[in-house]
Amino acid sequence: MENKKIIWDFYQDSLIITSDPYDKVEWRATDSKIEFDYPTFYWDSLAKPVDVVDKILIEYKLSKNKDTLLGTLTNRNGKYEFGLIRTE
């Protein structure tokens, strides 16, 4: 999965998220969801960085012909719907 800012590489034992900074996380998956904890930070009201662990839940459904993935990503900022279509 890739966009201009973030690339996600899924492996059997981990998920590597390439952005700034580069991170690798362990993930848990079933046939309908992926879960992982993503260490990150935010700036508090005093402009100091605060470390947090963002719990990510990706719920998805793969089409019958396995070329379209529809889902919802939930993190500490909210819930986001997405769709991915495989191309050649």
pLDDT, tens only, 6-51: 676 767 666 666 665 556 678 888 889 989 888 888 888 999 998 9
The answer as to whether 77 is a domain residue is yes
pTM for the predicted model, two decimal places? 0.66
Residue 2 located in a structural domain: no
User: Is 15 domain-assigned?
Assistant: yes
Report how many domains make up the chain: 1
pLDDT class of 1 with cuts at 50, 70, 90: very low
Residue 1 lies in a domain: no
Domain enclosing residue 76, as ranges? 7-85
Taking phi over 0 as left and psi of -120 to 50 as alpha, with beta for the rest, 78 belongs to left
pLDDT number for residue 2: 47
